[in-house]
């Protein structure tokens, strides 16, 4: 267990809360499409802040905690970039005007933080009480990796994607709704009657996507560290700056054609690591009479860090080389540029 000073934990959460509040204030006070210079500055700031926090962790708690933070942050950041693909699809499908997309993304980020916070508390409690939960997490990550690999195989065969689950389709049918947006308002008045705007469907789509993202991401980081403080801070640092990253990447986001393959490798590696850890700490009576298999080696955190960084580098380089030859047909949010 980490032996962190109380002042450090409290100070960390106070600073992170203030940063999120400032980000929210900027979005609500001045809805706009950020310039490349502005987006670059914010993304650089947040990435630099995460790197600095890892060094502070090194000074306060040692190399193991720092390495776990970096591995967790890189994994969650990679998953967050993958999540941006879904955000692009949602914003394009519902034709959200560009000047309101920052507000939608900020809502998505805040929702993700709340959902992941809940999942982290539940996951940490389950792990502390039931060691066999590692088996479930590990198998789920391997399953997710296989699913991502299959999606990668069929990526070139798909002409387009849509994100509209059964819940959203039902909401669209039963809610009285206008055809046009009224800023970021969820409700408006038409002929004296209150009705919803399409923005409520957009928010529902983002929230349901966030729920799916949380289910994927939390087991992944618990495979790298069981420290709730590191899990939560790594998630927040990965989500901060995601809004600006969306505008910064733009067309580059569409060129990361092998991102799903890279994430499949990372998640499969972490899944196997979790299963090995579960066998080492085994308490299930039908496996080795409820005793841990201590002869099974544990995967060290430095090896996890090497695998994650190496996979991301190979994935990025391979994606850029391929997309230079064949641009991938992925929908963008530019279709939502017109205002209402």
Range with lowest mean pLDDT among 24-28, 198-202, 262-266, 296-300: 24-28
Model confidence at 261, in pLDDT bands (50, 70, 90)? Answer: confident
Bridge partners, residue 193, by sequence: 190
Mean pLDDT for 170-190 is 78
Q: Has residue 196 got a pLDDT over 80?
A: yes
How far apart are the C-alpha atoms of 246 and 87, rounded to whole Å? 9
**Is residue 292 classed as helix, strand or coil in its secondary structure?**
coil
Model confidence at 73, in pLDDT bands (50, 70, 90)? Answer: very high
How far apart are the C-alpha atoms of 19 and 84, rounded to whole Å? 21
Q: Could you report the per-residue pLDDT of 37-57, keeping only the tens digit for each?
A: 888 888 899 999 999 999 999
Nearest in space to 112 (alpha carbons), one of 240, 259, 250, 260: 240
Q: Has residue 329 got a pLDDT over 70?
A: no
Q: Could you report the per-residue pLDDT of 108-158, keeping only the tens digit for each?
A: 888 888 888 888 888 888 877 777 788 888 888 888 888 888 876 665 444
Kindly report the pTM of this predicted structure.
0.76
Q: Has residue 97 got a pLDDT over 80?
A: yes
pLDDT for the residue 243: 78
pLDDT for the residue 49: 94
Q: Has residue 162 got a pLDDT over 80?
A: no
Measure the CA dihedral 40/42/30/82, to 10°: 80
């Amino acid at each position: 267990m980490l032996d962190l000073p109380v002042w450090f934990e409290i100070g960390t959460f106070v600073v992170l809360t203030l940063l999120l509040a400032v980000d929210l204030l900027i979005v609500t006070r001045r809805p706009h499409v950020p310039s490349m210079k502005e987006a670059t500055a914010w993304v650089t700031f947040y990435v630099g802040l995460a790197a600095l926090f890892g060094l502070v962790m090194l000074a306060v708690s040692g190399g193991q905690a720092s390495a776990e933070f970096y591995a967790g942050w890189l994994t969650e950041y990679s998953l967050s970039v993958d999540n941006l693909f879904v955000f692009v699809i949602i914003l394009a499908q519902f034709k959200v005007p560009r000047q309101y997309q920052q507000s939608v993304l900020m809502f998505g980020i805040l929702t993700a933080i709340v959902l992941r916070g809940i999942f982290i508390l539940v996951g940490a409690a389950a792990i502390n009480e039931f060691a066999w939960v590692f088996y479930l997490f590990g198998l789920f990550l391997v399953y997710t990796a296989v699913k991502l690999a299959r999606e990668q195989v069929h990526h070139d065969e798909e002409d387009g994607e849509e994100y509209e689950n059964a819940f959203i389709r039902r909401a669209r049918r039963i809610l009285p709704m206008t055809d046009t947006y009224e800023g970021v308002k969820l409700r408006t008045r038409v002929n004296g009657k209150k009705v919803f705007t399409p923005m409520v469907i957009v928010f529902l789509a983002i929230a349901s996507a966030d729920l799916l993202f949380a289910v994927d991401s939390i087991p992944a980081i618990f495979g790298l560290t069981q420290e709730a403080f590191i899990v939560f801070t790594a998630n927040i640092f990965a989500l901060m700056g995601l809004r600006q990253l969306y505008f910064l990447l733009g067309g580059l986001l569409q060129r990361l054609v092998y991102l799903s393959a890279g994430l499949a490798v990372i998640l499969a590696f972490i899944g196997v690591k979790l299963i090995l850890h579960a066998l080492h700490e085994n308490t299930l009576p039908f496996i080795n009479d409820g005793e841990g298999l201590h002869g099974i080696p544990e995967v060290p955190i430095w090896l996890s860090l090497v695998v994650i960084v190496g996979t991301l580098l190979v994935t990025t380089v391979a994606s850029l080389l391929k997309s230079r030859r064949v641009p991938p047909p992925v929908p963008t949010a530019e279709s939502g540029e017109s205002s209402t």
